[in-house]
Amino acid sequence: MADPKDQSTQSAPAEAGASNAAPSNPALWGGRFTEATDAFVQAFTASVTFDQRLASYDIQGSLAHAKMLAAQSIITDEDYQAIVGGLSQISAEIERGEFQWSIALEDVHMNIESRLTQLIGAAGKKLHTGRSRNDQVATDIRLFLRDEIDAIASQLLETIAVLGQLADREHATIMPGFTHLQTAQPVTFGHHMLAWAEMLKRDYGRLIDSRARCNSMPLGSAALAGTPYPLDRQMTMSELGFETMSANSLDAVSDRDFIIEFCSFASVLMMHMSRFSEELILWTSAQFGFINLPDKFCTGSSIMPQKKNPDVPELLRGKTGRVYGHLMSVLTLMKSQPLAYNKDNQEDKEPLFDTVDTVRNSLTAFRDMMAAVTVNPPAMRQAVARGFATATDLADYLVGKGLPFRDAHEVVGKAVGWCVEHGGDLSDLPLEQLQAFHPSITADVSEVLTLEGSVNARSLPGGTAPVRVAEAAKATLAWVEERRVGARS
């Protein structure tokens, strides 16, 4: 068969590190085989080009397992010391980029174990006692993802903080609020920023919820049925900082729900960022001009000299697609799989890794961009003045004068129609003109028709009034701080 690399469409960033060893069966499982694996099949089934990313977690898991094996007198202290020494050398080799990854050794687990035996001899062969690659890989991914969840959680907090600061600064800046992308009512820019912050706060909650289910230890499940060795699962669990241990060995080696949950969280987060991005793209256009993105977040056009393109939000919007795709990959990967472990599961890693990388980069880009955004209050005021944004305020005013809301709505509708026909805004109409639409309108209406009057009136909790927004921005920053402190302690 042909070289599988010719047919592969997958990006394998780590491929350069993998040597193209001649086909042979790894000593680790070759015992029952009479012929070597086909070269194509060997490369087709190997995962080392991408799962070497799990190496440090694989070593961490092995160290805990070996320590427990020694504590339970399943291996000697001498063997344990040799394993610790060998694994630390391997870890250094990997860090220096000197480790020889081999496709013939299939995956990260067997590459490391083979090297260990090469370095320390027989003791290396004892490390796998009471363990299978099935519970090993499940452990590695959980350790990896737990770290990534923590890093992403802290990135989310810092992003929410940036939005909170921006909201605090712009708590009284008035802009048009939209429904159907038509001017609806005046809102404050700070209020709009805090709407985004609320979405990210819920994303944070979903992420933290998923962490608990990720943080459960599979070791001790072995291949599928558990193991007859007297392992101390409690000890391995606390060595690795897991909160719980799996309750069923068949489930533990085959469950990938925790990856699906993470990818679901990531999809919702990216969906939110794509919404924010879409608004940023609109707002930076000449037609809106509400905000300005610093040049360092934009690019130019090779043909149109005037162009300053909002590439960063456009890419954030675009990258949402791959994250949704990864969620679908992992869901489909798990669909209909019989218990327990199946090789299908090896396909969980690339979607997970790319989801993690995309989310982390997207959050960095979004946070840095929002920290540098400047706003253009006059453009927002002009826009809000064009769309009869205070029409509801006039209707509410008439309700205050005793009209039923539906009648008030009708009166104001007529007034707006008049303005559309003759030009101008409700606030431009002289009092007599307004009174022609309804006699109960008096001089105090002018306050109601101002933008400030409109936003100030909406001062219920959760409303857009500057006083409420200033409070809500401070509450958001306090919410972030509480969690920062929680993460430190």
Residue 267 lies near ligand ARG (rule: CB under 6 A): no
Residue 111 lies near ligand ARG (rule: CB under 6 A): no
Residue 62 lies near ligand ARG (rule: CB under 6 A): no
Cα→Cα distances 261→1, 266, 267, Å: 39, 9, 10
| Tally: H helices and E strands in the chain | 21, 8
Known catalytic residue: 301? yes
Cα→Cα distances 268→204, 261, 310, 375, Å: 11, 11, 22, 27
Residue 142 lies near ligand ARG (rule: CB under 6 A): no
User: DSSP letter at 473?
Assistant: H
- Which of 73, 180, 302, 336 is catalytic? The answer is 180
Residue 256 lies near ligand ARG (rule: CB under 6 A): no
Residue 137 lies near ligand ARG (rule: CB under 6 A): yes
* Cis before 340 (ω within 30): yes
**Closest CB to ligand ARG among 53 and 317?**
53
Neighbours of 208 (CB within 10 A): 16
Question: Which residue in 343, 406, 439, 489 binds ligand ARG (CB under 6 A)?
Answer: 343
Any bridge partners for residue 292, and if so which?
374
Residue 320 lies near ligand ARG (rule: CB under 6 A): no
Q: How far is the CB of 345 from ligand ARG (least distance, A)?
A: 5
Whether the CB-CB separation of 262 and 212 falls below 8 Å is answered with: no
Stretch that binds ligand ARG, among 121-129, 130-138, 259-267, 312-320 (CB under 6 A): 130-138
Stretch that binds ligand ARG, among 133-141, 144-152, 193-201, 459-467 (CB under 6 A): 133-141
Question: Which residue in 107, 113, 203, 255 binds ligand ARG (CB under 6 A)?
Answer: 107
- Which of 8, 88, 301, 446 is catalytic? The answer is 301
Known catalytic residue: 192? no
CA-wise closest residue to 220 among 259, 253, 257, 242: 253
Residue 249 lies near ligand ARG (rule: CB under 6 A): no
Q: How far is the CB of 357 from ligand ARG (least distance, A)?
A: 18
Alpha-carbon torsion, ordered 234, 235, 239, 243, to 10 deg: 10
Six-digit token string for 128: 């796998």
Stretch that binds ligand ARG, among 16-24, 78-86, 145-153, 338-346 (CB under 6 A): 338-346
CA separation for the pair 271, 316 (Å, rounded): 10
CA 455 from centroid of its chain's CA atoms = 33
Residue 133 lies near ligand ARG (rule: CB under 6 A): yes
Instruction: Tell me the chain's radius of gyration from C-alpha atoms.
Output: 31
Q: How far is the CB of 141 from ligand ARG (least distance, A)?
A: 8
Residues near ligand ARG (CB under 6 A) are 47, 51, 107, 133-134, 137, 341, 343, 345-346
Catalytic residue positions, numbered = 180, 301
